[in-house]
Amino acid sequence: MSDLNNSNVEHVHQAGYCCCESEDDLLGKRFCVHEEAQYRCFLWEMFSRHFRLSLVGGALLYLVLSWVDYFLFERAFSVALNVRMAATVVTLAAVGMALIGVRSLSVHLWVQAGISFLVMATVEWASVMAPHEFRHLYMLAMLLGWMFAVILMRLPLRMATWLMVISTVMHAYLSIVVHHESLSVCLVECSALLAAGLMLGAGSYFLDKGSRDLYIQLREVRRQRDLLKSSNALLEQKSFHDSLTGLHNRRSFEERFDLECRRAARLGARIGVMVIDVDAFKQYNDSCGHLAGDDCLRRVATILSTAARRSGDLVARFGGEEFVVVWPDSSLQDVYEEAERLRRGVEALAIFHPKALGQRVTISIGVACHTPSDDLNALCLFEAADTALYRAKHAGRNQVDVEVLGVPPASDLSSGFAFHFMEKKHA
């Protein structure tokens, strides 16, 4: 039954919340076909365990009441016991069917209706077998069966109505044909059964109405909860992303960069940083306008975003025309080569810049790469890359410069890559 419940809940969630026009359409009315199916799924979700226990308890009680048969018709007791056991086995089989995960709700409803009708038939059969003076006890048993089906088993009102109508007709037929009761006695008994059926029908209606109102309220709570989750997710996305470029913003960069530096310090790994600035962007804004400037930043951000190829990579807009790229677990040469690729990519965009040398938009990049430590924290690493950016700007722009920190790793020394920038720095 747990599989049945899970699949039903998933069906309810995937199908949506309402196919009717408004919430008012659901109050005081039956649901539309699609909504009715969702309501039945909700009912099984809420009461499936209750249904199973009711079936088992009802079957055992039905079997225990066989002692009444023993006192009423001792000679035919074995036959009565076999009939009761057969009905009990059918009921327990329905419980087993629910436990193994039969997924059709309509099957379970029809099985419940069939078991209820079977119990009514055995009760009427027992009334035929019992002495005439005790047959009214079995009419009381039939009323108890109706109560069990309508209140405990929550049989749908339409099925419950048919069950009570068929039982009443069967009782009237046996009273006249088998028991040879007078028409007046039969009318009195049928009137009593009709009154009981009307009261049970009214009870079933109000129980069902209460369940439907609860379903509507819980569904609205779920809808509001999902809307709240969506709103929170959207707010979180906006709080960590730049609305113009779609990249991470400064807040996101500071948090992620600090976490990556701590992780690199624990693992003894290197982390690379690129600080990027769009060359002569103020002049571009002054000459081409702020809308063109926004479009320029978006196009540049598109190229820079290609640097985030791994899960730990980060590309962020630091502010204005400045961007930052974080590359964990990378060598200085790898970070430098990636920076050169980005610089060439922006240059290849050929965005017209009337005030720039070459009349196209370019970027300058400062690079730093080292293993973070107590003496070289995230701020120091960022300032080193910013220093390299300052040199690139003053050296003519549209280039990449590197700030070598401490003693370079053996891999950078062996390739001669680090010496080039160390000599350039001292020069």
3-class secondary structure per residue, 289-324: CHHHHHHHHHHHHHHHHHHCCCCCCEEEEEECCEEE
Whether the pLDDT of residue 34 is over 90: the answer is no
| Span 250-292, pLDDT tens digits | 999 999 999 999 999 999 999 999 999 999 999 999 999 999 9
Structure tokens at 44: 């099984």
- Residue 123 corresponds to which amino acid? V
Radius of gyration of the chain, Cα coordinates, nearest whole angstrom: 40
Secondary element (H or E) of residue 285: helix 281-288
The pLDDT of residue 18: 42
**Domains of the chain, residue spans:** 2-226, 250-426
Whether 203 shows a pLDDT value over 80: the answer reads: yes
Nearest Cα residue to 322 out of 305, 290, 353, 297:
297
Closest CA to 384 of 270, 297, 280: 270
Average pLDDT over residues 303-317: 93
Confidence of residue 74 (pLDDT cuts 50, 70, 90): low
* CA–CA–CA angle 408, 411, 412 (5° rounding): 50
Percent of the chain at pLDDT above 70?
A: 71
Span 231-250, average pLDDT: 86
Is the Cβ–Cβ distance between 402 and 286 less than 8 Å? no
Give residue 386's pLDDT.
Answer: 95
397, 280 Cβ separation under 8 angstroms: yes
Q: What is the mean pLDDT of residues 415-420?
A: 50
- According to the per-residue pLDDT averaged within each range, which of 175-184, 338-347, 418-427 is highest? 338-347
**Tokens read off for 338:** 């990636």
Give the pLDDT of residue 247.
94
Phi and psi (nearest 5°) for 376?
-130, 85
Q: With 90 as the cut, is the pLDDT of residue 343 above it?
A: yes
* Terminal alpha carbon distance of the chain: 78
Whether the pLDDT of residue 422 is over 70: the answer is no
Top-confidence residue, 138 or 370: 370
426 falls in which pLDDT band (50, 70, 90)?
Answer: very low
Check: CB of residue 356 under 8 Å from CB of residue 279: yes
Query: How would you classify residue 278: left for phi > 0, otherwise alpha for psi between -120 and 50, otherwise beta?
Result: beta
Assigned token pair, 168: 């009443």
Q: Which of 5, 14, 387, 3 is nearest to 222 (CA)?
A: 14
How many whole angstroms separate alpha carbon 334 and alpha carbon 101? Answer: 57
Burial group, residue 376, by CB count within 10 angstroms (0-12, 13-18, 19+): middle
* Residue 215, amino acid: Y
CA nearest 4: which of 99, 116, 132, 124?
99
Q: What is the pLDDT of residue 185?
A: 82
- Of the listed ranges 160-169, 177-186, 193-202, 240-249, the least confidently predicted one is 177-186
Gap between the Cα atoms of 392 and 231, Å rounded: 43
Tokens encoding 306: 């290609």
Quick check: 199 pLDDT over 80?
yes
- Top mean pLDDT of 26-40, 66-80, 170-184, 407-421 is at 170-184
Closest CA to 1 of 103, 91, 93: 103
Strands 400-403 and 363-370, bridge-based pairing: parallel
Residues in Cβ contact with 303 at an 8 Å cutoff, skipping those fewer than 6 apart: 342, 345, 346, 349
Three-state DSSP class for residue 406? coil
Overall average pLDDT of the 149-164 stretch:
81
Tell me which range, 65-74, 106-115, 120-129, 148-157, is most confidently predicted by mean pLDDT. 148-157
Residue whose token pair is 């990249």: 247
What is the predicted pLDDT for the residue at 11? 42
Tokens matching residue 261: 């530096």
Strand partners, 324: 275, 316
Model confidence at 364, pLDDT cuts 50, 70, 90, reads very high
Asked if the model's pLDDT at residue 110 lies above 70, the reply is yes
CATH number of 250-426: 3.30.70.270
- pLDDT class of 72 with cuts at 50, 70, 90: low
Q: Which amino acid is located at 310 in the chain? A: R
Token couple for 256? 């992620």
Between strands 322-328 and 271-278, the pairing is antiparallel
Q: How confident is the model at residue 22 (pLDDT cuts 50, 70, 90)?
A: very low
Listed range (18-22, 226-230, 341-345) with the worst mean pLDDT: 18-22
Tokens for 311?
């899960």
The residues with which 402 forms a beta bridge, in sequence order, are: 367
Non-local (6+) Cβ contacts of 92 within 8 A are 55, 56, 59
Region of poorest pLDDT, from 50-54, 101-105, 293-297? 101-105
Q: What is the rounded average pLDDT for all residues in the chain?
A: 78
Where is pLDDT greater, at 35 or 67?
Answer: 35
